[in-house]
Structure 1
Amino acid sequence: MTRVTVVEDHPLYRAAVVSLIDEMVDCQVVGCHSDAESALAAATDEQPDVVVLDLGLPGTDGITALSRFRAMDSPPAVLVLTMSEDPSVLAATLRAGAHGYVVKGSEPEDIARAVEAVAHGQVVFGAQVASAVLAQASGRAASGPAAAFPGLTHREHEVLELLARGRSNDDIAALLFLSPKTARNHVSSIVGKLAAGSRAELVAKARDAGFGSS
């Protein structure tokens, strides 16, 4: 049973999210909070597997709370559920360790699928922000660091950017809409082209070239 904590300051929306999750198979709401501090204080007792987190909270803001959740000894996966479609906000949540980002206008079934996905270790982004995620990955590849590795394809530059950000093969597959096998093949190809002895060495080379720094 997936244990879920909901952190949302709007009472009607909070109740709707709690009701949605309670209706899901294999999910149980173990905490419901209107602010980040109460959710963080209760996390040890609630032990959530997933935190559904609004960003516009009173007191401690959502991104700060996200970082603190991810710094816990047994960190929950965090699904951001927010009104914002701002790419800079999305980027900040990625840096803080979010597993997913869904806009509040999404259909209930899309929110439910996102909760299930992050509970199973996947990375998920709503349709409204998926293009921004890809733009962040491909934008870095279009210039700058990409010049350091001209032998890589455009797609391989995208994969390398995500590797430099610490993303797993499964994350890369989800973000770039690839099959897991295709993502693994891209990583193997990059390792060979850059003569890296290991994945860690590949990531180090990418970061030295400026990938993953935005």
Structure 2
Amino acid sequence: MNPEQPLRIVIVDDHPLFRHGVTTLFSTMPDLEVVGEAANGEEAVALAEALKPDVMLMDIRMPGISGIETTRRITTASPSVKVLILTMFEDDASVFTAMRSGAKGYVLKEADKDELLRAIRAVANGEAIFSPGIASRMIEYFAMTRPAASEEAFPELSSREREVLYLMTDGISNADIAGKLEISGKTVANYITNILNKLQVADRQEAVRLAKESRLNY
């Protein structure tokens, strides 16, 4: 990043009025320049590759691929691009999954102008940044007794959900998982639905890939 040049920003959000509002705000900041806008994940990935912005402001819930998966793809393909999550969702599952996907910060849309600008500049400088309430919860989480290795990988999952995910990495069917855990196939299906929702992935294959990358054990 050249300190003499404005930070190059791409805004990723499916609401055009929100994108317009943020662009208007940044137009008054001499050290910030909006170089692109994306309404969905596919557009965001393409812009990241084409423009190589300093920071991408990323919503979580969008049509098509989620902001979480979009972030994962961008940080894998274009590691120099910093992603700052800007969303209305502050649940632990969204926060932990976003950070694991490669996001460098997590700010709520209710943040005021100064907080958002500080977050953008901090992320561009390689710092991790969170909205105050989220930061407090993360500090509390990491201050607790260190969890088991399987819990470290996916703290948003319950013990049984981690167990099901671990068995999924073996490539076995729902029926075989049900047999191993002595539960019904319907219960297994419900657990898998919960896992996909909490990890914010589209399908079983994505969940398994995440588990293997995190070296999930149980």
Fold equivalence (TM over 0.5): yes
Number of residue pairs the alignment of both structures matches = 146
Question: Residue 72 of structure 1 is aligned with which of 69, 77, 88?
Answer: 77
Q: List 4+ stretches of structure 1 deviating above 3 A.
A: none
Unaligned runs of 5+ in 2: 1-5, 150-215
Correspondent of 1:31 among 36, 48, 52: 36
Alpha-carbon distance between aligned partners in 1 of 2:67 and 2:41, rounded to the nearest angstrom = 7
Residues 133-178 of structure 1 deviation map (CA, whole Å, 9 limit, x = unaligned):
112211343x658xxxxxxxxxxxxxxxxxxxxxxxxxxxxxxxxx
Alignment correspondent of 1:132: 137
Q: Which of the residues 18, 21, 26 maps onto 1:16?
A: 21
Which 5+ residue runs of structure 1 have no aligned equivalent? 146-211
CA contact (8 A) 1:40 1:69 kept: yes
Per the alignment, residue 202 of structure 1 pairs with none
Q: Distance in 1 between matches of 2:135 and 2:79?
A: 28
Counterpart-to-counterpart distance in 2, 1:144 and 1:65? 29
Q: What is the CA–CA distance in structure 1 between the aligned matches of 2:54 and 2:72, rounded to whole Å? A: 16
Instruction: Return closer, same or farther for 1:73/1:89 CA change in 2, 3 Å cut-off.
Output: closer
Residue 101 of structure 2 is aligned with which of 86, 90, 96? 96
* Aligned residues of 2:111 and 2:131 also touching (Cα < 8 A): yes
> Hey, what does 1:61 align to over in structure 2?
66
CA contact (8 A) 1:36 1:57 kept: yes
Matched-pair identity in %: 34
Determine the C-alpha separation between the residues in 2 that align with 1:38 and 1:44: 10
Change over 3 Å in CA distance of 1:136–1:39 after alignment to 2: same
Secondary structure of the 1:71 match is: helix
* Residue in structure 1 matching 2:86, options 81, 84, 100: 81
1:1-214 correspondence runs (5 A): 1-141=6-146
CA RMSD of aligned residues (A): 1.9
- 1:61 is matched by which residue type in structure 2? S
Normalising by structure 1, report the TM-score. 0.63
Map Cα deviations across residues 5-28 of structure 1 (whole Å, 9 max, x no partner). Answer: 100111221111122223223211
State the match for 1:177 in structure 2.
none
Cα shift at 1:75 = 3.1
Paired residues of 2:14 and 2:62 also in contact (CA < 8 A)? yes
